[in-house]
Structure 1
Amino acid sequence: MGAPAKRSDDSSKKASTGKTDVDQTTNGGGARSGNSSNEAAQESNQAKQGEPDKEQESSKGRGWKIFEDILLWVAWVAMVGFNGYAEVYHFNGTTVGGLARKVDLWIMPAGYVFAIWGVIYIALAIWLFRFCLAGPSRKRLGFLPFTLSGLLFVATCCLNIAWLALWHMERNFWALVIILILTVLAWMLYALVRRDATKAGTPTAAKALDWIPLSIYASWLSVATLVNAGYMVVAGHKVGNAVQGFATIIVVGALLAVAYLMNRHGKDWVFGLVVIWACLGIGIRIFSFAAVMGVLVIALTAVGAFLVYFPWSKFRVVRR
């Protein structure tokens, strides 16, 4: 009778011990579950705390871009506005055309050619609109609230105003210095944007809208720089017709040669169009007082245009 009772007590103890182990296991699992919940809660809190920081950084990023956008448009409006004011209200009592007629410069294009400025201003507005929409691709220049492209654009606008003012005041030397710097900066902006457009994974048509406006601008400034240089020389010295005629052929030929290189090797067909527009204007103006020379310049321009845009890559000389 005693032995069975003992076995019963042992069974009770084992059952009690097993229950205790289960309770401990359950409590341990609960503790681990509680710790995991606490860690998850802490990570969630940290993530929530990080969100305002990201929003603040994003807000700062948008802030400097908005500032740059406003300044770029102000610079564009100021440039276009001053050009319009100078022509309509005759800044310093004269106009660009009036000054051009004061000096008998053979490489000065006909008056209608300068209508290209209207095309340039519209093209720059298109470029500026696309630039402001670029968003994430715009990289800040150090601590300045600008991109390098934006800074160059503002500089060209300011120099454009300065050049026009000096031109109207007949400060020929300083006008030439300013337009030289302006032309260099315009080509720098063109090269920078062209490089970025090549890297970007955007359609070809969209890329073209990024660099074509700047090519028109820089190309015409190159022509205008040559005209300014010639104007300063002729205004300050007596230059004979023979010298001017020879110089005109050299200038037209050089411009067409550069246009060929730009189209063939630089894949820039816009430069050639601007050069042809200017050279035809030069020939037409010369034709009004020197018919033979005018025809020669127009013929040279026509031949140059053919050579610039002929599809050379499709025709190769076969050696025998």
Structure 2
Amino acid sequence: MTRQRKWVLLYVIAFLIMIAINYLSGSNIGNIAEDKQATIQPAGFAFAIWGLIYVLILAWLIKLLMIRSHNKKIVSRLKYLPIINFLLNSAWIIVYTQQWFLVSVIVILALLYNIARMYVILSDYRGYNRLPFSIYFGWTTVATIVNIFSLALNNHIQTIFGLDELSWTMIALILATIIGIFIAISFKDWLYPLVLIWPFYGIYIENNNYYLSLDVTLITASLLLFITAIIVVVRMKKS
């Protein structure tokens, strides 16, 4: 058995552990999140994207098992990163369901960093390799922000630097939009900005037109991300 195949088999084992923990504990996440819900938290249906992410990653793992020359290069560069990723994902589910919110923020920040490293590596390869992680990276970017807001609410923090939760929510959305545009243009990735629109839509539905300023921010941000995705596609076709 080659070293690359051993790595992939370890990826599969770590992935199955993640799926098992998600199945056993994942249903409690929604109940905990709804207990003290942040304004920036998307509606429940938005979290269905996790199912899509897991299916796409599973397909990616199956693809890696078909060891070919380019797959060997990918595995050689990734090495242990997918294993750490799946274990961090599992750890986040455990600490969040235990309501260890500070630890959950630390874990999800580590997870986001790990995904970013994998994303950069996979961006060097065309085809299906980056696609699952464009969605994974985009969703986790917003999930990290939501997790930070949940930490603040559960510590009864009402204002920071004189700004209330709504103000910080709009700042966070603007920041996420800037990140989305930067990633899309820098890595020629039309999918990443589109993924951000999904949780933005979930936030819009969940708040049910309660804040006009939030609605305007969400709609404007979504339009900018959509336009960015179109620009990236046009540039890719020209090149």
The equivalent position to 1:281 in structure 2, one of 202, 207, 219, is 202
Q: How far has the Cα of 1:113 moved from its partner? A: 0.6
- Residue 172 of structure 1 is matched in structure 2 by 101
Partners in 2 of 1:229 and 1:183 — Cα distance?
13
Find the partner of 1:160 among 66, 77, 89: 89
**The one of 1, 16, 21 aligned to 1:82:** 21
TM-score by length of 1: 0.66
Pick the aligned partner of 1:263 from 184, 192, 195: 184
Look up the match of 1:307: 227
Q: Choose the corresponding residue for 1:133, options 51, 63, 66.
A: 66
- How far apart are 1:234 and its partner, in Å? 1.4
The Cα shift of 1:312 comes to 8.2
Correspondence 1:1-320 to 2 at 5 A: 62-87=1-26, 95-137=28-70, 138=72, 147-195=76-124, 197=125, 207-239=126-158, 243-287=164-208, 290-293=210-213, 295-311=215-231
Distance 1:126 1:312, change over 3 A: closer
Seen in structure 2, the aligned counterparts of structure 1 residues 104 and 63 have a Cα distance that, compared at 3 Å, is: closer
Cα 1:183/1:306, change in 2 over 3 Å: closer
- Deviations 1:85-129, CA, capped at 9 Å, x for gaps: 1135xxxxxx11111111131111111111010011011112212
Inter-partner Cα distance in structure 1 for 2:206 and 2:105:
23
Whether the 8 Å contact between 2:91 and 2:107 is mirrored in structure 1 is yes
* AA aligned opposite 1:68: W
**SS state of the match for residue 164, structure 2?**
helix
Distance (whole Å) between structure 2 residues aligned to residue 113 and residue 313 of structure 1: 25
- After TM superposition, give the deviation of residue 68 of structure 1 in Å: 2.4
- The answer on whether the counterparts of 2:170 and 2:214 sit within 8 Å (CA) in structure 1 is no
Higher relative contact order (CA 8 A, sep 6+): 2
Q: Which has the larger radius of gyration?
A: 1
Between the aligned residues of both structures, percent identity stands at 23
Matched letter for residue 237 of structure 1: H
Cα distance, 1:287 vs structure 2: 1.7
Q: Distance in 1 between matches of 2:225 and 2:5?
A: 43
The one-letter code of the counterpart of 1:119 is: L
Mark the runs of 5 or more structure 1 residues left unpaired by the alignment.
1-61, 89-94, 141-145, 198-206, 316-320
Residue 295 of structure 1 aligns with an amino acid whose one-letter code is D
**Structure 1: which amino acid aligns with 2:69?**
P
Letter in 2 for 1:307: I
- The alpha-carbon deviation at position 78 of structure 1 amounts to 1.1
The alignment yields a C-alpha RMSD, in angstroms, of 2.4
Distance change >3 Å, CA 297–CA 287, structure 1 → 2: farther
**Superposed displacement of residue 172, structure 1:** 0.7
- 2:228, 2:123 → 1: CA distance? 21
Structure 2 distance, partners of 1:121, 1:313, is 26
